[in-house]
Amino acid sequence: MAATYTALPPSVMQDEPCPHALRQAARAPQALAQSEAVCRAQRVRLTPIRRKVLETLYATHRPLGAYEIAERLTPPGGRMAPITVYRALDFLIEQGLAHRLASQNAYIASFHMASAPGTTAFLICEACGGVDEASSTELTHAVNALLHRDGFAPRIKLLEISGRCAHCGGGAISRA
């Protein structure tokens, strides 16, 4: 049965349980509580709309576009303006609670808000839509050395790598 899923583009797939989905469901409540703590510590307000957008991001393991978020938050018979969602997303990104994946034009909730501000690589699976956050001191050092050499002042240090996760059959490919 699993084979029929992978034939579909991610946008068509439902949130069927892949390891990413299970992990997301398991850690979402704690991450949401942690986000609230971050806002309290920063003395910024997690308003109802900001919270709803964050909850929507935590409710799935796939990156969501702003319009998709607006759609999920629209009450029956109501309307949610995308600008409202964009404003909430700006706030969440500013606070380090969410990230924008430029290659996907979509957003994901952060799970490493408390960790040191190093370089993070987002491993984006094109089959199941799952996104893994990977970082290491070696990666951070290597990127810092490159930036230093070029005298480049980074605003966002975020790498995006698209492909296939181990679960979807990526592990066997390319060790070159």
Nearer to Zn ion, 70 or 127 (CB): 127
Minimum CB distance to Zn ion, residue 124 (Å):
9
Minimum CB distance to Zn ion, residue 60 (Å):
11
85-120 residues labelled b (16+ CB within 10 A) or e (exposed):
bbebbebbeebbbbbbbeebebbbbbbeeeeeeebb
Q: In this structure, is the dihedral angle defined by the CA atoms of residues 97, 29, 102 and 88, taken in order, positive or negative?
A: negative
Enumerate binding residues for Zn ion (CB under 5 A).
18, 20, 125, 127-128, 130, 165, 168
Give CA–CA dist 30/9, Å, rounded.
30
Alpha helices in the chain (DSSP H): 2-6, 19-42, 48-58, 66-73, 82-94, 137-150
Nearer to Zn ion, 101 or 143 (CB): 101
Nearer to Zn ion, 60 or 95 (CB): 60
Minimum CB distance to Zn ion, residue 54 (Å):
21
Nearer to Zn ion, 50 or 164 (CB): 164
Q: List the structure tokens of 18.
A: 């892949």
User: Please, are residues 89 and 98 in contact by the beta-carbon 8 Å criterion?
Assistant: yes
Nearer to Zn ion, 20 or 50 (CB): 20
Minimum CB distance to Zn ion, residue 10 (Å):
9
Minimum CB distance to Zn ion, residue 21 (Å):
7
Per DSSP, the chain holds a count of helices (H) and strands (E) of: 6, 5
